[in-house]
Chains A and B, each alone.
Chain A
Amino acid sequence: MNAASEEQPLLKVEGLCVDVTIQGRDYAALKDVSFTVQRAEAHGLVGESGSGKSLALRSLMGLLSANARVSSGSAYFNGADLFANSGRNFRRIRGAGISMVFQEPAVALNPIARVGTQITDGIAQRKGLSRKQARDYAIHMMGLVGIPSPELRVDAYPFQLSGGMRQRVMIAASVACEPELILCDEPTTALDVTVQAQVLALFDGLRAELNAGILYVTHDLAVVSELCSTISVLYAGRLVESGTAAEVLGNPREDYTRALLAATPRIDEPGQRLRSIPGTTPALRDRPAGYSFAMRVADHAPDSPSILQEL
């Protein structure tokens, strides 16, 4: 790696705006979002459903659906803008540069292909591996992500594996090309808590071993505090707050971050009822211009005082 690439951040997103077209009208789903991911660092992108966090990930992979597009902003990966050249850069970068772990391996793995094939088809195509080499590499990768007796499972189909094993297969597939940046779209939501802890430990190990940056999207602050050193908080498509994990979680400046923290179940307060933030992030088409968390608080404060009064 040359000196210049050591200096610049691995990923620098600046002023990212994503528009979504619904029934012929454009809505701003992401507005002016900026953050940075360094090498060997895990950055948490935190927000509720509808905050636009998954959209941000997909835009960085060039995998937005047909009705969504990046309207302005830039994303520099190793100094080169991903969105330049009308998105043609993505193909070269996917896999070996940036890879992605999807939320639900049950739907993100090809249901009719063997898991071994799915782990290595990317690298096999890139490096021209033989069938035997690819299979051996798949077994190696499966062992690396903690799948027991991988030689017995390499020829299995996704439906023959448990949810935790499937997510490990997905992780193995996304790190098979040793990417510099791994995008994670809530990869532990479909898993039970013990498996979740194992998978988080796995990501942490990969970050250290591959010197890879991780951009981890989640609504779960417990996960973030375990894995990430820096955090950005998204609300309704806008960046609310960002900083080191210690700053943001220990001393949140914004009401929304405080509300999210208060809604996180705590193990040191057993018997406490689960608390939630009243209301939901409004759907894109119902969102007034300049929508903020204060407006949601104002809407819901009278009948649901619990969290909001603590702010």
Chain B
Amino acid sequence: MIRFLARRLGLLVLVVWGVVTATFVLVHATPGDPARTTLGDKASESAVQALRAEWGLDQPLTVQYWHFLTDLISGNLGTSFQYRSPIVSLLADRLPTTLLLMLMAVTFAVVISLPLATWVAVRGRGGADIGVRIFGAVAQGTPAFLTGTLLVIVFGLKLHWFPVGGYGRTTAEHLHSLVLPSLTIALGIVPMLVNSLRASLTDALQSDFVAFGHSKGLKPATVLAAYAIRNGSISGVTILGIQAGVLAGGALVVEKVFAIPGMGSLMLAGILGRDFPVVQATTLVFAGIVVVVYLVTDLSYALLDPRARLA
């Protein structure tokens, strides 16, 4: 277990290094000068050059990369060009929002998928199965910005159940305003999760161990929960883990659509304003989240399946 964790942490460092390096190259290769963007078209060339010097953008790329890496290792993510404040404090504001959004999205995805998949698996082929398949195809094919917009129109503008955008001030308001955004992300994950769960639950329901459970005279609900669903849901954890990237990408789009002050909107603002340090830092954090989700997936797999834990 210790060796497993050590290996995974080593891998994490490697992945994060790869991601930050790629990001560094990409932001510097993108056309557009941060100093010019910040000062505007009317600023004098000398003022722009002075700002470039202040931000260290006049130095050779290799030197900039070296400074960036050494700062990163010492925990210094730099200072935002546009906000003029240390990025660490920007992240401290925004990371919890995005984490809450992703957590709620995963919760919604599971709460929707598991009963749906169980229902379809128990019913077998027929109307329910076809209905869920069609719903899945439509949900899978609809991009997050459209799903989000539709949810806003129905539950925000027409029914007034949830706010149209923003984040509120209190925790209750936060949770309330994150319902539609997290539902939007969840609907992107649900189809794949339902498909995988349906298949594994159908297998489990036809298995001898479920028949054996029934043969012992257990209540059908007990057999379904303790025998079929416990076995059938293991594959769902893997699918959920694989979707971590979709989750992060979803947060990016959805925060923009719903005007939520999270990591995604910070990153987009960074890209549009040529705010290199912000883009680099937010990418780093998103990469970290994805890698940690993969790690948690593997660990929970071991938790759910004694064969993975003990064999």
Contact = CB atoms under 8 A, between A and B. Distances in A.
A100 B215 contact: yes
Interface string A104-132: 10011111110000000110011000000
Nearest to B231: A112
B227 A177 contact: no
Contacts of A93: 217
Contacts of A159: 306-307, 311
Interface centre among B206, B217, B222 (most CB of A within 10 A): B217
B155 interface: no
Interface stretch (A13-21, A30-38, A60-68, A70-78): A60-68
Contacts of B261: none
Contacts of A96: 217
Interface in B263-311: 304-307, 310-311
A94 B217 contact: yes
B219 A125 contact: yes
Contact of A125 (B206, B207, B208, B218): B218
A110 B311 CA distance: 16
A122 B209 contact: no
B226 A63 contact: no
Interface in A160-211: 160, 170, 173-174, 176-177
Contacts of B304: 112
A121 B215 contact: no
| Chain B interface residue bracket vs A | 20 to 34
Most chain-B CB neighbours within 10 Å: which of A104, A157, A176, A177? A157
Contacts of A66: 124
A102 B215 CA distance: 10
Q: Size band of the A side of the interface?
A: 35 or more
A190 to B, nearest CB: 12
A237 interface: no
A284 to B, nearest CB: 19
Interface in B179-236: 206-209, 211-220, 222, 226-227, 230-231, 234
Contacts, number: 93
A29 B124 CA distance: 23
B220 A112 contact: no
A96 B215 CA distance: 10
A95 interface: yes
Contact of A177 (B214, B216, B310): B216
B207 A107 contact: yes
Contact of B211 (A91, A102, A126): A102
A294 to B, nearest CB: 35
Nearest to B227: A110
Nearest to B307: A159
B216 A108 contact: no
Contacts of A62: 214
Contacts of A174: 215-216
A94 B215 contact: yes
B211 A110 contact: no
Contacts of A218: none
A99 interface: yes
Nearest to A113: B226
Nearest to B124: A66
B209 A111 contact: yes
A157 B231 CA distance: 14
B218 A122 contact: yes
Contacts of A113: 226-227, 230
A177 B218 CA distance: 11
B205 to A, nearest CB: 10
Nearest to B304: A112
Contacts of A104: 208
Which 10 pairs show the lowest CB-CB distances between chains A and B? A95-B217, A122-B216, A94-B217, A108-B208, A100-B215, A157-B306, A110-B209, A108-B212, A107-B208, A63-B211
10 contacts: A61-B211, A91-B220, A92-B217, A99-B216, A100-B215, A104-B208, A107-B207, A107-B209, A157-B307, A159-B311
